[in-house]
Structure 1
Amino acid sequence: MTEKEETMDASDSHDSAPSVKKNARASLLDSGEDFEVLDEEDIDDEPPPLEDAGGGKGENTDESEKKNADTDSDPPGPVEEWLDVLGSGQLKKKVLESGEGRDSRPQKGQNVKINLKTCLKDGTLVEEQPGLPFTLGDGDVIQALDLTVQLMEMGEKALIQADAKYTYGARGSVEPEVPPNAELSFEVELLEATDAPDLELLPPPEKIALASNKRERGNVHYQRGDYAFAVNSYSIALQITESSSKVDISPEEENELMDVRVKCLNNMAASQLKLDHYDAALKSCVSALEQQPDNIKALFRMGKVLALQGEYTEAIQCLRKALKLEPSNKTIHAELSKLVKKNSEQRGAEQAMYKKMLGNPASCSSSSSSSSSSQKHRAKSSWGLSWKWLFGATAVAIGGVALSVVIAARN
């Protein structure tokens, strides 16, 4: 929410997983803020595309010629020897040194270790990472590596050229330093592939570190704007924290796991909000509040989700509860004031609409009274005419009888 809180989150995260290297930008996602404000330097975006300038062609020409009959592609071979991984020309792979055969290829979900050398299209070295470990298919590394390492044999060395779309995208990257929209070239050697550990048998400190690692990867995806990938990483981290354990776990370790779990749920809700998945975001907030009913960030995000769904009354209740827990929070103050005003305007508009639909009660009453008075007047007038007519008819009748008596007397 506030800058101070973001700093606090970063330190909290460090304490919960001391064995894991922390990403300095990860704390932004743990803040109560909506992640709308990110500094330019804090945003890891996909680097500019770097095409391989043919690096590695001359390194093993002799070996590749010897293996020409056994492999489909040779290191110094022509363009036809490149494997178009996706069929779009944006991700290509070429074998430099063949490995132990197709049966030795790693499977999705396994932990792999590679030697990695990354260069720009012009051959400029970006970074070298010997013995880089990651879980294949979990989104722990850029897509170009996640997709191509699955096609490598154990011991194989390969050259990979990738468009920015599958590396660091339009924003590039701060660490490693990669310019926007850059194609990259990778030299990869697959060193080993092992099955992922059994989470039920994993010691609590290792489980906490692993879940924190996945969560931090989700934070990186979020900062790059890859919200779907962020949700995927948070989901994996949640699965780790929620897995049962067959080893002893202390209350302190349970609390650490819960803390990681709630952070994942909060950050997942933020990502789902960015994707306009309001129902899913609401579910994430509810799950976080089930773990920690007074979690301010979960209350804040739940209020935002409800407001976006038009549930202003419930949203205001959530934000008021959050504000009661942290009265000095300006972000909650601002959001609450905005919602109260919007709710008031909505209710005013609804009242005006109801009046228009039902009509003006005073006008109706006046009209009814006037109509009743008119009817009474007409009834009275009608009654007066009836008496006058009856009296006149009676007088004529009496006069006629008297005249008849006079005539009769004369006769």
Structure 2
Amino acid sequence: MSEGEGTLVDKSESSSFEDLAAAAAHEIEEAKLAEAAASKDKSEETKTDEWQDVLGSGALLKKIIKLGDESKGLRPHRSDICRISYEVKIKDTDHIVEKRDQVKIYLGDNEILQGLDLAVTLMYKGEECLLQMAPRFGFGENGLKPGESLGLVGELDAPKYEGPVIGPDTWLDARVELHDWDEEPDHETVSIAERMEIGVRRRARGNWWYGRGEAQLAVQLYRRALDALDESEGGITDPTPTGDLAPTSDALQALLDERLRVHNNMAAAQLKAGAYEAALQAVTRVLSCQPKNAKALYRKSRILSAMGRNSEALEAARAAAAAAPEDSGTRKELQRCEQRATRDRSVERRLAKRMLGNPAQPKNGGEPDKKPSRAKMLMWGSLLLSLLVGVASVLVYRYKIQAH
């Protein structure tokens, strides 16, 4: 943080930093109730012939083109594993942005575009619908440019977008089909390999959101990744007093490494979102297991600087530069911290002089006079002239006495 910036606000406890999908849950539930009440007296033909304003704001419209199984009134809930097919186009064009068939998603994790994610919660098994999505439920203010990653869920190296530019005002059309769903299993019952797969895919999607400047959505994915990568009884343990971890199997060690990678990424996203305390906690977890992790040390320095803890930031920056001396980022961070420390020392010296005073300086704070002032010269001149006049008078008086 440079001098002159305003007071920093730590958003670690901010309600706006909570799971964003949860923030829309109330609206979705209201939409479900409204839809249920409106569909009581409608025929099947009517149901498939009208656009529904899902959130009541006109930003997400849904139209059923194939009815699903409504006999049991069951719909998927957040965290359920849904199998869907979808196609996304630029509104009123034939330009396909994304197309996936029989893809598995964790509902509510924003593994797909937010408009699709919200719409699936309103669908029945076997239902197919059309959507019209405002930009905020698609690619947001950043839009999407040719050559940028699509960030498709389940793919670490997602394909690049090849269509026309999607701007911040671009609406999208979509076609979605919900095939079926299952409840998310307890992670303790899932194999290490499956937990690793889940954690990696969520981290990859979180990275995609982070790269688009959506730090809060990234944090949501990182948190969900940690749910899958969390340690299990008899598995990963805390570091020993020496800082080393107790021996584990290769699979558990890989799981631990992935957890630390997620914590590191989450610290960066929390820093970007202004949640400094939470970011510091995340990076501290990494350093408790890997004290010389250069990336974690670098981020710790950035976090502490943002919190105004400059001396601690300098210490972390020095450790980061020692751990990765060839890395330009750590070197630049160390230079910034050293320059900030120099400025801080200069400010402290000036404040100390003001508070304690400087005996070498006059009390009035000005510089000592190098030459007599004009007033002083006139005063001394007058005194000297008076003295000379007095001496001359005495001499004249004595001369007259002697003459007589």
Question: Normalising to structure 2: TM-score of the pair?
Answer: 0.68
Distance 2:231 2:64 in 1: 39
Shift, 1:183, TM fit:
1.2
**Residue aligning to 1:116:** 86
**Residue aligning to 2:167:** 180
Structure 2 residue identity aligned to 1:90? A
Cα distance change on mapping 1:84 and 1:72 into 2, 3 Å:
farther
Q: 2:343 aligns with which of 330, 342, 345?
A: 345
| Equivalent residues of 2:317, 2:337 under 8 A apart | no
Shift, 1:82, TM fit:
1.4
Q: 2:100 aligns with which of 129, 132, 146?
A: 129
Cα distance change on mapping 1:363 and 1:185 into 2, 3 Å:
closer
1:107 aligns with 2:74: no
Q: 1:149 aligns with which of 117, 120, 126?
A: 120
**Residue aligning to 2:372:** none
Shift, 1:230, TM fit:
0.3
**Residue aligning to 1:171:** 142
**Residue aligning to 1:405:** none
Q: Mapping of 1:177-256 within 5 angstroms?
A: 177=162, 179-181=166-168, 182-244=170-232, 251-256=249-254
RMSD: 2.4
Distance 1:71 1:232 in 2: 38
**Residue aligning to 1:4:** none
Distance 1:115 1:105 in 2: 16
| Equivalent residues of 1:200, 1:243 under 8 A apart | no
Shift, 1:197, TM fit:
2.1
Distance 1:263 1:94 in 2: 41
Distance 1:246 1:114 in 2: 36
Cα distance change on mapping 1:246 and 1:300 into 2, 3 Å:
closer
| Equivalent residues of 1:241, 1:258 under 8 A apart | yes
| Equivalent residues of 1:73, 1:95 under 8 A apart | no
Cα distance change on mapping 1:227 and 1:153 into 2, 3 Å:
same
Q: Which has the larger radius of gyration?
A: 1
Structure 1 stretch 196-205 or stretch 117-126: which is displaced more? 117-126
Q: Deviations over 1:218-273 (max 9, x none)?
A: 00110111110000000111121114268999621122111111111111111111
Shift, 1:170, TM fit:
3.0
Distance 1:137 1:189 in 2: 17
| Equivalent residues of 2:235, 2:248 under 8 A apart | no
Cα distance change on mapping 1:165 and 1:319 into 2, 3 Å:
same
1:296 aligns with 2:294: yes
Distance 2:290 2:233 in 1: 21
SS at match of 1:341: helix
Shift, 1:128, TM fit:
2.7
Distance 1:145 1:199 in 2: 26
Shift, 1:201, TM fit:
1.4
Question: Normalising to structure 1: TM-score of the pair?
Answer: 0.67
Answer 1 or 2: which has greater helix percent.
1
Distance 1:351 1:125 in 2: 64
Structure 1 vs Structure 2: percent identity of aligned residues?
A: 33
Distance 2:43 2:349 in 1: 81
| Equivalent residues of 1:68, 1:74 under 8 A apart | no
SS at match of 1:151: coil
Q: Which has the higher relative contact order, 1 or 2, with Cα contacts under 8 A spaced 6 or more apart?
A: 1
Distance 1:246 1:295 in 2: 26
**Residue aligning to 1:277:** 275
SS at match of 1:132: strand
